[in-house]
Structure 1
Amino acid sequence: MAQRILVVGGGQLGLEFALRLSRKVRPGEAEITVVDPHSHMTYQSFLPEAAAGSIEPRHAVIPLRRVLRRCRIIGGTVTRIEHARRRVTVQPLIGPDRELTYDQLVVAPGGITRTVPVPGLAEQAVGFQSIGEAIWLRNRVIDRLDVAAATTDPAVRERALTFVFVGGGYAGVEALAELEDMARDAVAYYPELSVSQMRWVLVEAANRILPEVDLDLAEYTVRELRARGLDVRLSVQLKSCVDGHVVLSDGSEFESDTIAWTAGLKPSPMLRDTDLPLDERGRLTCRATMQVVDADGAVLPDVWAAGDSAAVPDVTSPDPGALCGPTAQHAVRQGRRLAANILAVLRGGEPTEYRHAYVGSVASLGLHKGVAQVYGIKVRGWPAWFMHRTYHMSKIPTLNRKVRVVADWTLNLVLRRETVALGELHEPRRRFESAAR
């Protein structure tokens, strides 16, 4: 009888796992079901380029049903896991809850944006984890240029042209740099405005940015951003942003219409509604084989976890307590190892520990600008930007998406990128409602 394999989460890890396993199982050996509230996987490393117009937003997402043709896809949210009963409760997109049973369970719901209780944050800020947020930020930046160009009020113009990004990791730095680069190009079409009128602020609570690279490369990045006129604030926290009035811990205050929060991830809160063991940070406790274990280190049979919501030991680190971080590199490689492990177990074998050979990190700082640290080699400027694009082009799943992304990049070599805001996408019924009154 075919083993029922249930995958909670269709993100990068869930997609990689299901795709790899579905290609390797024999007919009748396994039935793979993927549950996710979205019908696509977002390749988050391309969100900054999608926001900046370097690639089409649709090309940064991969449709699950097209790619996972050998799997069953259920659109819904997992609300409860009862491993003792081998039951998962799913809230479909519409309709009553339903229960699914399984023989093997893979828990990979990913993470959600990690926030802190800052007054005004929920009302004023936007995250940067989904394609919708990336499109919103793109439209917001261009829309604010329109506002600034049309107004005669200096205070309104200054507020509209002030853009704040909180978080100095890869997401924050790349989003800030790519969008500033796009806005710099767009200002050329606004005779009422100049680049010097724009204010881009990066707020980072730590004393450095880009913790994934060595300090000298991080310091180079800060110098490059500041040389472009960007305001990089280190060892500074956002204290309040009520009604767009930004207050920082260094005492400075100013107005801003655009606040992006990119200060990290935390495990999915769904895990609290399970009978699975969690660590102090709410992550599933695992062995390096990605088998879930209890507080005594005993393996729970037939349940596996990996990704942002799993505490998977990093056996390649000299630190005995080191865990794999929430990165795309780990997601892809854990997905592949997890598929091999479950296939081995189905065929009477033993799982193998996940061992990660660290490749390095690459970051884009706008068109033709970047930093990279690959196999210990540090690269800056145009070569690093080229390495960034080459690496992520090789990692985005499916030939279809690779071709489309390369086509976007090729067109951008000879054509200027579009700087049009499609703000009505966010409120498509407003015009009709006004006409119907």
Structure 2
Amino acid sequence: MSLTPELSPQPRLLIVGGGYAGFHIAKALQTKVKDRGGVVTLVDPLPYMQYQPFLPEIVGGHIEGRHAVVDHQTHLKDTEVVRGTVVKVEHARKVATVRGEDGAEFELPYQDVVMTAGATTRVFPIPGLGENGIGLKTVEEAVALRNQILERLDAASLSTDAEERRRALTFVVVGGGFAGIETVAEMENVIRTAVERNERLSQSEVRIVLVEAMGRIMPEVSEDQAENVVKHLQDRGIEVLLNTSLGDATGRVMTLTDMKSEDKAVKEKFPADTLVWTAGVAANGVAKQTDFPVEQRGRIEVTPTLQVKDGESGVLEGAWGCGDVCAVPDLTGSGPGGFCVPNAQHAVRQAKQLAANYMAVRHGEGEVAEYVHKSLGAVAGLGFLKGVGNPMGLKINGVPAWLAHRGYHIYAMPTLERRFRIASGWIAETLFGRDTTSVSGQDTPFNAFRAAAGVELEPVRFEQRERDTAQAEPAI
């Protein structure tokens, strides 16, 4: 253990995770706790909160990646922000172990703790997936995916090798939930626009494939709406393969298996440079590195008052939690398994209730109340002027759904400053069209200087991949 950095000696409310729930709790409590002689400390490896519902819009080029994040230091001025990762919480000792950016670990004592570490991408042990896939859980991934798509289109337009060209123009998205559907729709939009602007490419050469293991997509909407979305995507040239899973991605060759066959027979095999994984999330692994009760899906067990459970009917003093890392009971009875679904709609409302309950328990202000919220429905954007949803139980499609999608999410985005930046991007796109510029050298930013200095250049992403997979199975 290294020595603890110079941090406040005041009674500490420690917030583990600065995502949507953690940010809102810190914002609600920082001044109140400070005025009572304490300090709110937020620990997160990132210096900002990222609004994940906007990630597909970043891929589509509607908004800039940096506009979908909210800086902790700027907007949490009365919060002690620590850049690091909580690797262990020992509530019996009231101590958390934090790993700093330099890799050194130190102990951080606290009076109360709030677990809001969120979720991570759920990945299965599929050969080649880790080496060749990309997720869509972070702003960095969204920006990188957009650049990769545009770079692959540029590369294909200059390639005279039919196999390389076909591989570069094949795009695969695994996962038919909201994230996967929004992502593949935005990808199709930006690909179509970029191809129209490149006379060396044609739409008929592009192949976009959506892979979903279940027999339907988007469980958040009605079955007839889901079927209409499938037809909509197919009309745009996207192949929607239901009851299909990714069995292997070694060497950037996609092996798809038939989930309806008893022996999971191979359905198709083809090369693709771009593989996007959106097949679900899992609770942050820090939940299992605590002495809190954890249920079978790896989430911390909390009560409807958002306090960590202690046995069947009790609560642990000074321990709170909400958001994706916790199994929050859904008292409306509509949540799967009796728990709230992991989304921003629940996270912000849970954060508000947790902050109020904390003040009631710790400082005797107000009454403790249970978290109850009936879902307002869901809306999804399917590209410019396209959408689907069921807000307040009303089934809507097309432009109304697209407007509802954008309206809700810009309202839910914290801070007026970020809302203005996002809206200005939308206005600019409407007036001047979609930006299809690729910042292809983003992964190798030092190469221009190295070339000038006459030193060895850092290999670009796909050249590096070729070396890594030189012995892999040849493309089919």
- Tell me the TM-score normalized by structure 2: 0.89
Correspondence for 1:388: 405
- In the alignment, does 2:225 pair up with 1:208? no
Of residues 27, 30, 41, the one that matches 2:35 is 27
The one-letter code sitting in structure 1 at the alignment partner of 2:67 is: H
After TM superposition, give the deviation of residue 95 of structure 1 in Å. Answer: 5.6
Residue in structure 2 matching 1:16, options 21, 24, 27: 24
CA distance in 2, matches of 1:170, 1:70: 36
Q: Are 1:69 and 2:77 an aligned pair?
A: yes
Which residue pairs with 2:261 in the alignment? none
2:143 aligned residue = 135
**CA 1:320–1:176: 2 relative to 1, 3 Å:** closer
Where 2:390 maps in the other structure, the secondary structure is strand
Q: Which runs of 5+ in 1 are unaligned?
A: none
What is the aligned partner in structure 2 of residue 270 from structure 1?
Answer: 286
Equivalent of residue 378 in structure 2, options 346, 357, 361: 361
Residue 344 of structure 2 corresponds to 328
Query: Which residue pairs with 2:62 in the alignment?
Result: 54
Question: After the TM superposition, which segments of 4 or more aligned residues of structure 1 sit over 6 Å from their partners?
Answer: none
**1:54 and 1:412 in contact (8 A); partners too:** yes
Contact 1:2 1:28 in 2 (8 A): no
The AA in structure 2 aligned to 1:329 is Q
Deviations 1:310-343 (A, max 9, x none): 0110001167950011111111111111111101
CA contact (8 A) 2:329 2:339 kept: yes
CA distance in 1, matches of 2:222, 2:51: 25
Is structure 2 residue 304 aligned with structure 1 residue 285? no
Find the partner of 2:429 among 406, 409, 412: 412
- In structure 1, what is the equivalent of residue 387 of structure 2? 370
CA distance in 1, matches of 2:370, 2:11: 22
Q: C-alpha distance in 2, partners of 1:58/1:269?
A: 26
CA contact (8 A) 1:114 1:266 kept: yes
1:317 partnered with 2:333 = yes
Give the Cα separation in 1 of the matches to 2:176 and 2:337. Answer: 25
- Give 1:402's match in structure 2, choosing from 411, 419, 422: 419
- Which structure 2 segments of 5+ residues have no match? 1-8, 259-266, 457-476
2:229 aligned partner: 221
Which residue of the partner structure matches residue 455 of structure 2? Answer: 436
2:314 corresponds in structure 1 to 298
2:335–2:341 Cα contact (<8 Å) kept: no
Q: CA deviation at 1:241?
A: 0.7
Secondary structure (helix, strand or coil) at the match of 1:436 reads coil
In structure 2, the residue corresponding to 1:387 is in which secondary structure? helix
- Where 1:249 maps in the other structure, the secondary structure is strand
Do the aligned residues in 1 keep the contact of 2:429 with 2:435 (CA within 8 Å)?
no
Give the structure-1-normalised TM-score.
Answer: 0.97
Shift of 1:429: 2.2
- Structure 1 residue 425 corresponds to structure 2 residue 471: no
Equivalence for 1:39:
47
Given candidates 162, 166, 171, the residue that maps to 1:158 is 166
In structure 1, how many angstroms separate the alpha carbons of the residues matched to 2:286 and 2:305?
23
2:210–2:240 Cα contact (<8 Å) kept: yes
3-state DSSP of counterpart to 1:423: coil
Deviation at 1:30, TM superposition (A): 3.3
User: Is the contact made by 2:33 and 2:39 (CA closer than 8 Å) also made in structure 1?
Assistant: no
Structure 1 25/80 Cα, relative in aligned 2: closer, same or farther at 3 Å? closer
Matched, 1:174 2:182: yes
| CA RMSD in angstroms, aligned pairs only | 1.6
Sort the Cα spacing of 1:112 and 1:319 in 2 relative to 1 into closer, same or farther, 3 A. Answer: closer
Does the CA contact (< 8 Å) of 2:13 and 2:39 recur in 1? Answer: yes
